[in-house]
Structure 1
Amino acid sequence: MKKICLCCLALICLTNLFAQETVNYKEKMPYKIWVKMAPKLNDEFFKTDEAIRIGDNVLLYQQTTGGWPKNIYMPAELTQQELEDVLASKDEVNESTIDNGATSTEIQYLSRLYLATHIEKYKDGALDGIRYILKAQYPNGGWPQFWPRPKGYYTHITYNDNAMVNVMELLREVYEKKEPYTYVPDSICDRARAAFDKGIECILKTQVVLNGKPTVWCAQHDEHTLAPAKARAYELPSLSGAESDNIVILLMSLPDPSKEIIECIENAIEWFKASKIEGMKKEFFTNDEGKKDFRMVPCTDCPPLWARFYTLEDNRPFVSDRDGVKKFDISEIGYERRNGYSWYNSDGLKVFKKYEQWKKKHNK
């Protein structure tokens, strides 16, 4: 019997393979487990009946647009009522999205399953998913968070949570015919290459200029004006220290960057250097209500941090509660938003590491 990797064994246990009593997997297993686990599954797993069962779930959730809704734990064993509900919602096209790893994760899973089984329905589902991504792209090269969606912040060009970067990386693997996309027809590969190139153009056009100096990007940009745009109440127009890191890394991965791309990278790196927060760190503590909380405290010899949001006026780090009011101290917003959102990160360090490698490669 062939050896199955530990992550496959974990998935088998989670998905009730051994006929254990049915449980609510949607409640017990957050969708993030699926998004993280699916790309790491061993090739051997895709030859199993369990892989096919999950693949059928993936097809079941695929909407008529070709895309998928988000926050679905695909390995869940569905009750008859849940099955009927999913079937009834397939035409609710407003739920198709690239947010939170949706659609790209399912395309990859179906593609791997097709290579392992040669069952045509999985190939067809994956190709429909790729076509969905191609159709969802704006003429200016950006992607909205949801498509089609007639209104709301969902229509903005969305860098938030790496939504646009994720689909661009997938399209590059498609047109380069990397596994598991070796089966994709040349006509779709050509469209994927064109879409990727348009995405790069959009990234260049949306780099925010502050006081005459190109900086980085907002988490979302207006799909018409390309200006930084608001999303949820606490996600205000800003410069984003969280979303910009993977945009720069994507640009640095291009094999033959143009002068415009090089200048874009260099300007973004300058912003990361100028915007790091030094001498501060997160300190966790138990508050008066017995809850885990955190505060920012001074420190020495600690790695730099970057804020999620910086003001467009003077590049000042800020936070915000659900009232949408900018605050400049994490203690000034409520417990729920303070602990329910990622306000600070150290991802600029990985940008610097990639940048040093990029400079050596391109003799900068």
Structure 2
Amino acid sequence: MNKFLKFSSLFMVLLVMASCSSDDDETKEEKPAEVLVTNITIIGNDITDGKPINLSADLAPSDATNTNVNWSVSDKKIAEVSLSGVLTPRDNGEVTVIATAKDGSDVTGELVIKISGVTHGTVLKAENMLLWQRSNGGWPKEPHNDFSGYNREQTAAEKAQAISEKENTDTTIDNDHTIGEIRTLLEAYKQTFNPAYLNAAENGLKYLFEAQYDNGGWPQYYPDRSGYRYQITFNDNAMANVMELMWDIYKGENDTENFDESYRASAKTAFDKGIEVILKTQITVNGVKTAWCAQHHDVTLQPAKARSYELPSISGSESVGVVRTLMLVESPSSEIKQAVQDAMQWFEDAKLYDIDTKKTTTNGQADVVVVSSPGNIIWARFYDLQTNEPFFCGRDGIKKKTLAEIEQERRAGYAWYGNWPSKIETEYKNWKSKLGI
């Protein structure tokens, strides 16, 4: 090919490329510019009958590219608004509705709506919890220790008693109290939007914030410090229940989303402090981390005695709730990971093989005996802090090596053996898998 032909071919290639480039430029130029929202007017009326209304948003300019908005309200206790702009009243009062442009312009429109005509239903169980709530925000364990008494109309004597004891300081987290009442009230509020239920739940939450020690622990009772009530209490999952509630509030889950959002940060702080004291109270034996006692001293953090038969020990029961709480942490530190792994290893080492318990009768009274059960695995409630051997204790406060050595009343009246750690084996496997351990 001569030079002229080569030059001609090259010229044609360049011409085609230039043409394509020109076409691309023209295409880009033809794309219309985005038109942003400059003003939003919310269209709606006051509510006089307590029923929901549909709101709409009028956007300017009329040719705005993105006409979608996000809806919100100034006070969720007064009303809630759906993604489509349906305003549902919760209480009588005044609320500001806000519509925010979704095109990134940050333009908002607001409308103040007065709400009246709202009536609230009641829930008997919740009403009874309002009655028994102490003035400090917490609840006592008696007279409704198992919660069943809340399900019926209170007698005149009970009502008078509850009112006369409002200032008592017998408030507790034992046997799921205060936490259990708060959760029930939140559920009742979700059903009825009765503000009394949410207010009572918030007062209960404030009580829990106040009851937490600076080191992160929660006592079984607050402010009562008599006996062993002041100790940091893992017994019966007392502290674990509080921390699970704090976690739910932080995450806005399990009906806690109705709490004011300002409580979320406080709940997260309380939860984190609780994790700190859990790490500090993990018992070390001969340089090896194990598990936890059912209760620890509020200052020294050492394993502590509660009732006469609840001596300082490593707990095969309460430690399970502690480990489950540690596994809630979404991005655990290396210290948290190690604490969980060490506790699970202790559970493995503390297994008791080929035995089980059997309910029986002795001298016409209920009893519990240990029987042979090949292949079975269980754990003891208490393990010695030095030897890691199971022990049992009657009301005389003296350690015994076997269940048969303590009095019949205590044998049958307390959970000395159980399969507690087996209940978190699957959770632990999932936890390790999630973290790549």
Normalising by the smaller structure, the TM-score range is 0.7 to 0.9
1:195 correspondence with 2:266: no
The answer (yes or no) to whether the contact 2:367–2:409 under 8 Å persists in 1 is no
Moved over 4 A (4+): none
- Shift, 1:238, TM fit: 0.4
- 2:141 match: 70
Partner-residue secondary structure (3-state), 1:299: strand
Gaps of 5+ in 2: 1-119
Q: Which residue in 2 is equivalent to 1:208? A: 283
Change over 3 Å in CA distance of 1:203–1:55 after alignment to 2? same
Report the alpha carbon displacement of residue 224 of structure 1 after superposing the two structures with TM.
0.4
Pairing partner for 1:105 from 180, 185, 202: 180
Given that 2:122 and 2:194 are in contact with CA atoms closer than 8 Å, whether structure 1 keeps it comes out as: no
Q: In angstroms, what is the RMSD of aligned CA positions?
A: 1.4
Residues 296 and 303 in structure 2, CA contact (< 8 A), matched pair in contact too: yes
In structure 2, C-alpha distance between the alignment counterparts of 1:340 and 1:178, rounded to whole Å: 37
Match among 81, 89, 92 for residue 168 of structure 2 = 92
Q: What is the match of residue 58 of structure 1?
A: 129
Distance 1:283 1:56, change over 3 A: closer
Equivalent residues in 2 for 1:8-87 (5 A)? 52-71=123-142, 72=144, 73-87=149-163
Q: In the alignment, what sits opposite 2:293?
A: 218
Structure with greater proportional helix content: 1
The CA distance in 2 between the partners of 1:55 and 1:278, in whole Å, is 46
CA distance in 1, matches of 2:409, 2:122: 38
Once the two structures are TM-superposed, the CA of residue 50 in structure 1 deviates from its matched residue by 9.0
The 8 Å contact of residues 121 and 192 in structure 2, kept in 1 or not, is answered as no
In structure 1, distance between residues paired with 2:227 and 2:219: 11
Match of 1:261 in 2: 336
In proportion to residue count, which structure has more strand? 2
* 1-structure distance, mates of 2:141, 2:367: 29
Instruction: Note the C-alpha offset of 1:239.
Output: 0.4
Whole-angstrom CA distance in 2 between matches of 1:136 and 1:281? 39
Aligned-residue offset at 1:363: 1.4
| Distance change (3 Å), C-alpha of 1:112 and 1:56 | same
Deviations 1:295-317 (A, max 9, x none): 11222122x11110011111110
Give the whole-Å Cα distance in 2 for the aligned partners of 1:99 and 1:51.
27
% same residue: 42
Distance 2:252 2:302 in 1: 34
Give 2:229's aligned amino acid.
Answer: Y
1:267-317 CA-partner distances (Å, limit 9, x unpaired): 101100101111111133332x13332211222122x11110011111110
1:1-364 aligned within 5 A: 52-71=123-142, 72=144, 73-93=149-169, 95-287=170-362, 289-302=363-376, 304-364=377-437
> 1:51: how far off?
5.3
- Equivalent position SS for 1:116: helix
Aligned length: 313
TM-score, normalised with respect to structure 2: 0.70
Q: Which amino acid aligns with 1:69?
A: P
Superposed displacement of residue 183, structure 1? 1.8
**Alignment-mate amino acid for residue 357 of structure 1:** N
Task: Look up the equivalent residue of 1:144 and give its one-letter code.
Answer: P
Q: Spell out, residue by residue over 1:198-232, the C-alpha distance to the aligned partner (whole angstroms, 9 max, x if none).
A: 00111000000111111000000000000000000
- Give the stretch that moved more between structures: 249-258 or 304-313: 249-258
Greater relative contact order (CA < 8 Å, ≥ 6 in sequence): 1
